[in-house]
A and B are shown apart, each in its own frame.
Chain A
Amino acid sequence: MRYDLDRELALGWLRAAAAAVERRHEELTALDAAIGDGDHGSNLRRGFAAVITALDALPADASPGTVLTKAGSTLISKVGGASGPLYGSALRGVGAALPAPSADLTELAQALRAGLGAVQKLGGAVVGDKTMVDAFEPAVAALERAAFDGFTLREASALAAEAAEAGARATIPLQARKGRASYLGPRSIGHQDPGATSTALLFRALADAVVS
């Protein structure tokens, strides 16, 4: 059982995320084909494969912040599309807020709030636009509440994953106002947003990494 985010958990999180993307890239691509251009799964797969390679080259004493920042920079350099800069900036934002060798739940929640801020600054999306923010915001809010209520990292990360998954499902009835899906107008209604889905997958990966 882990109580803090340290270098090992940061690495475990990214490896769990890469494995989840590898397992579910076809599902992400299918969601994207319905309201986008059908490459979300293959792009994230290419990006996280590059992240795993980049992590192997990091020094053994790298802080969790350095690990996450490196992962973010790699996504920006390798993915392209909107998801590369957005997920890359998110992880860089989280990493920049974690300079110490370990972070407690409150500090992790603050760092993820900073990552969400980086995404919103770059993409300009708010909750309800049918984007990754619809999963990201409730997950961060759940972590913050859990930290305030004195929950463990294990409980908090599970609550965050559930909140992200609920947020992703809640995009189904929405009409997209950002990104390529917005070109479809009302035809984007009735489909789950691929970006919100992959964000939920990343929060589930964190919860999985905490218990393993």
Chain B
Amino acid sequence: MKKLINTPESVLDDALTGVAAAHPELTVDRENHVIHRADAPRPGKVALISGGGSGHEPLHGGFVGPGMLDAACPGEVFTSPVPDQVLAALRATDGGAGAVLIVKNYTGDVLNFSLAAELAAEEGIEVRTVLVNDDVAVEDSTYTAGRRGTGATVVVEKVAGALAERGAKAAEVASVAERAVAASRSFAVALTAATTPAAGRPGFDLPEDQIEVGVGIHGEPGRRREPLRPARELVAEVVETILADHTLTAGDEVIALVNGMGGTPLIELYIVHGEVAARLAERGITIARALVGNYVTSLDMAGFSLTLTKADPELLELWDAPARTPALHRP
């Protein structure tokens, strides 16, 4: 393992030190492991809070700021935050208008955020929770923990954040977030496995010419293993898989996110995006807005995920609204 760390145990603390030094517009609560807007709490504004395991940067701390999140709770690497952390974030951002928690659908995240929501309710903070579950690689059935939350989280945090910034009520913010979840589907492919600092070796062994198809963002293996193929064939299959699960038809518009997993060069992500655009054009689907880059990463994993969100005028308008965060900036 070659990593720019001090010790595996101090990764989160040391990274938060860097975030605090780089972003004076954010407040980093080192004791509770919370990143929040320096101007929090904002009276009368719904607090939009997210969080999850670390290792997915810029998610979530990189999306804290005007127009997106009020606070983020980073857990240890690939480990959900604890309830105390989420409660500290709720207290720091409570402007009296309630809070909306954006939670990616993983057992640990769901349990810890729901325990925090119970504690906050006892303190009189009204909390709503929106689950993000966009990953079509997982069958949503009683035989699984349900679909994982992945790339759609960026879309959800952007549109809900824009609406919250305008003074919308908590129910309205939660409602648009749920609408964005319902309109989104994602699928991911890994070329290499991620190495967590604590484990020190890749989460799974992948031969040079093999890829994992249908991976999540925590280093777990995917649904199946396949030989590596040219980007054109691979992307065509990914687009097919998503469309088979989506309600998109000719004439529809989408927000397309081609997301790098952390270890893939941007030039390859643009090759992928070009193929995505071509495949969608063949079906008469228009990419109304595109985002290409590393937004929901999995440490040093190489690979990409594709998220397609069916667009409508309201979602597009909120997507275009101003945002000022470390990782996403809209004038």
Contacts and interface: CB of A to CB of B under 8 A. Distances in A.
Interface of A: 29, 33, 35-39, 42-43, 46, 76-86, 122-123, 175, 177-185, 187
B82 A37 contact: no
Contacts of A123: 107, 111
A80 B81 contact: yes
B221 A80 contact: no
Contacts of B83: 76-77, 85
A20 B107 CA distance: 25
B79 A80 contact: yes
A185 B77 contact: no
Nearest to A129: B143
Given A122-B111, A180-B107, A38 B79 contact: no
A39 B111 contact: no
Contacts, number: 112
A78 B220 contact: no
Nearest to A85: B111
B185 interface: no
Nearest to B201: A33
Contacts of A46: 76
A212 B288 CA distance: 69
B220 A80 contact: no
Interface in B63-82: 75-82
Interface stretch (B134-142, B227-235, B267-275, B320-328): B134-142
B203 interface: yes
A interface secondary structure, majority? helix
B203 A84 contact: no
Nearest to B139: A185
Interface residues of B, number: 37
A38 B216 CA distance: 13
Contact of A182 (B76, B108, B143): B143
A205 B106 CA distance: 30
Interface string B142-160: 1111001000000000000
Contacts of A43: 76, 79
Q: Which of A81, A84, A180, A187 has the most CB atoms of chain B within a 10 A radius of its CB?
A: A81
B218 interface: yes
Given A38-B203, A80-B75, A183-B148, A86 B220 contact: no
Interface in B177-222: 196, 198-199, 203-204, 216, 218-221
A167 B112 CA distance: 27
Given A38-B203, A76-B115, A84 B198 contact: no
Given A39-B198, A78-B82, A177 B143 contact: yes
B49 to A, nearest CB: 16
B84 interface: yes
A33 B201 CA distance: 10
Nearest to B115: A85
Given A76-B115, A183-B216, A37 B78 contact: yes
B223 interface: yes
Given A177-B144, A184-B220, A76 B82 contact: yes
B199 A38 contact: yes
B40 to A, nearest CB: 23
Nearest to A86: B111
Nearest to A184: B221
A39 B199 contact: yes
A77 B31 CA distance: 13
A187 B82 CA distance: 29
6 contacts: A33-B203, A33-B219, A81-B79, A86-B111, A184-B221, A187-B223
A39 B77 CA distance: 9
